């Protein structure tokens, strides 16, 4: 168990900068998830930590400074997205392969493989070959193989992306349990924000090689620092509506929708100028039936998705970037083509500058159910 620290780490391939000025503090025993869209540099950063890539500048510590320490001496174990097992070897031999190669003591090897198999519930399968296993079992062997090397830090790069949806959900909780049981430092990479939200102690959102925000899952959900994080965390995605600022104080910003409806949003408006064009963000789960709010916005229903427990409705509205998505009880009778009005609860709104920066939300105004940032 050890901590991982990155100080102003940059990684370039030739002239192309991939990881940019990354500062990170990962505590001993913490479960950290790197999340971001495909191509944002998650794997690159993980491979730098593992030592499979040299960093271009900055400092990397795994306990001690690691800049020039070779991968095998870093105390890290990595599980890859495509985890090829040896098809002709049984599970025991697959899991002990690394130790055999390192000419480790046979008794010690046996002890470690049996321990890993026990933790991963693979004991009864140790004689089997990979082809006689389910996808989930094979994934567990890949993890077991890394476990046997007793890493200080576990690195996992999209380990579940080859599994079907149901198995992914199951493995998600198995990995979370495993991490708690081992108490190890774990860095887990995924493009799936649901995986990040459900598994992480701490999420690192990456955007184009930069760290966009670091925080606990619910802090990112309630207090995104920018529009990118607001739009990336949460499913379905946050809605964005164009507004402009009529008044701005340290306690609120008065915004006006395109339909001239105006209301106060409880955010710190000290960085806002009157007349600024801004983006109001509101999550689908926070839009209301129109009769319960003074701030309403009207549009035409484009899509109705009846999911059983609720109905998802998409509304075409002039000032919104894309159709506004909201949720309603399954009893709602609404059809594509209908005119419909939804209510906006100002306390549930986020407000973003043109460049994407968020105005700080004032939690005491936001509501008792929203945790303090």
How many residues sit close enough to Mg ion to count as binding (CB under 5 A)?
A: 1
Extended strands (E) in 53-207: 57-62, 64-65, 76-79, 153-157, 185-190, 202-207
Minimum CB distance to Mg ion smaller for 82 or for 121: 82
* Cβ 40 to Mg ion shortest distance, Å: 9
* Stretch of 43-51, 59-67, 209-217, 276-284 lying at the interface with Mg ion (CB under 5 A): 43-51
Q: Lay out the site mask for ligand ADP across 35-64 (x = CB under 6 A, - = otherwise).
A: -x-xxxxxxx--------------------
Dihedral sign, Cα of residue 183, residue 189, residue 192, residue 196: positive
Minimum CB distance to ligand ADP smaller for 13 or for 86: 13
When asked if residue 139 is in the footprint of ligand ADP (CB under 6 A), the reply is no
| Beta-ladder partners of 361 | 267
* Cβ 279 to ligand ADP shortest distance, Å: 25
Q: Lay out the site mask for ligand ADP across 5-24 (x = CB under 6 A, - = otherwise).
A: --------x----x------
41 binds, among ligand ADP, Mg ion, none (CB under 5 to 8 A by kind): ligand ADP
Q: Helix, strand, or coil here: 120?
A: coil
Minimum CB distance to ligand ADP smaller for 30 or for 207: 207
Closest among 23, 26, 30 to 9, alpha carbons compared:
23
144 binds, among Mg ion, ligand ADP, none (CB under 5 to 8 A by kind): none
* Cβ 54 to ligand ADP shortest distance, Å: 12
Closest among 128, 48, 52 to 90, alpha carbons compared:
128
Q: For the chain, state the CA radius of gyration.
A: 24
DSSP symbols for 232-290: HSSSSPPEEEEEEEEEE-SS-EEEE-TTS-EEEE-B--TT--TT-EEEEEE-GGGEEEG
86 binds, among Mg ion, ligand ADP, none (CB under 5 to 8 A by kind): none
When asked if residue 190 is in the footprint of ligand ADP (CB under 6 A), the reply is no
Dihedral sign, Cα of residue 326, residue 330, residue 332, residue 333: positive
Minimum CB distance to Mg ion smaller for 43 or for 328: 43
When asked if residue 86 is in the footprint of ligand ADP (CB under 6 A), the reply is no
How many residues sit close enough to ligand ADP to count as binding (CB under 6 A)?
A: 10
38 binds, among ligand ADP, Mg ion, none (CB under 5 to 8 A by kind): ligand ADP
Minimum CB distance to ligand ADP smaller for 39 or for 183: 39
Non-local (6+) Cβ contacts of 153 within 8 A are: 2, 4, 49, 62, 74, 75, 76, 77, 184, 185, 186, 187
Closest among 99, 98, 89 to 126, alpha carbons compared:
89
When asked if residue 43 is in the footprint of Mg ion (CB under 5 A), the reply is yes
Largest Cα–Cα separation, the chain: 77
* Cβ 357 to ligand ADP shortest distance, Å: 23
Residues that bind ligand ADP (CB under 6 A): 13, 18, 36, 38-44
Give the interface with Mg ion as residue ranges (CB under 5 A).
43
């Amino acid at each position: 168990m050890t901590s991982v620290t990155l100080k102003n780490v940059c990684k370039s391939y030739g002239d192309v900068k991939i990881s940019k000025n990354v500062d990170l503090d990962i505590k001993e025993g913490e479960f950290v998830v790197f999340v971001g869209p495909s191509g944002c540099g998650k794997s690159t950063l993980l491979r730098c930590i593992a030592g499979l890539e040299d960093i271009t500048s900055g400092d990397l510590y795994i306990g001690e400074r690691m800049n020039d320490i070779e991968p095998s001496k870093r105390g890290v174990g990595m599980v890859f997205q495509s985890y090829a097992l040896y098809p002709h070897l049984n599970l025991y031999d697959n899991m002990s392969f690394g130790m055999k190669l390192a000419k480790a003591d046979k008794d010690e090897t046996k002890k470690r493989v049996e321990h890993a198999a026990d933790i991963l519930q693979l004991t009864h399968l140790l004689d089997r070959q990979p082809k006689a296993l389910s996808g989930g079992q094979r994934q567990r062997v890949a993890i077991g193989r890394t476990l046997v090397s007793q890493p200080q830090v576990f690195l996992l790069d999209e380990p579940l992306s080859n599994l079907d949806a149901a198995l992914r959900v199951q493995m998600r909780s198995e990995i979370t349990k495993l991490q708690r049981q081992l108490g190890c430092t774990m860095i887990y990479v995924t493009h799936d924000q649901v995986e990040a939200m459900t598994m992480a102690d701490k999420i690192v959102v990456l955007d184009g090689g930069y760290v966009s925000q670091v925080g606990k899952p619910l802090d990112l959900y309630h207090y995104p620092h920018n529009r990118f994080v607001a739009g990336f965390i949460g499913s379905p995605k946050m809605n964005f509506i164009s507004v402009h600022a009529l008044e701005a104080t340290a306690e609120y910003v008065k915004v006006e929708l395109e339909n001239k409806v105006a209301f106060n949003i409880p955010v710190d408006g000290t960085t806002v100028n009157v007349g600024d064009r801004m983006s109001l963000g509101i999550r689908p789960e926070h839009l209301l039936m129109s009769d319960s709010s003074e701030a309403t916005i009207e549009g035409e229903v484009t899509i109705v998705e009846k999911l059983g427990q609720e109905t998802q409705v998409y509304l075409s509205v002039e000032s919104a970037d894309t159709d506004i998505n909201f949720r309603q009880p399954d009893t709602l009778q609404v059809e594509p083509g209908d005119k419909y009005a939804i209510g906006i609860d100002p306390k549930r709104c986020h407000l973003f500058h043109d460049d994407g920066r968020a105005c700080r939300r004032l939690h005491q105004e936001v509501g008792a159910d929203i945790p303090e940032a």
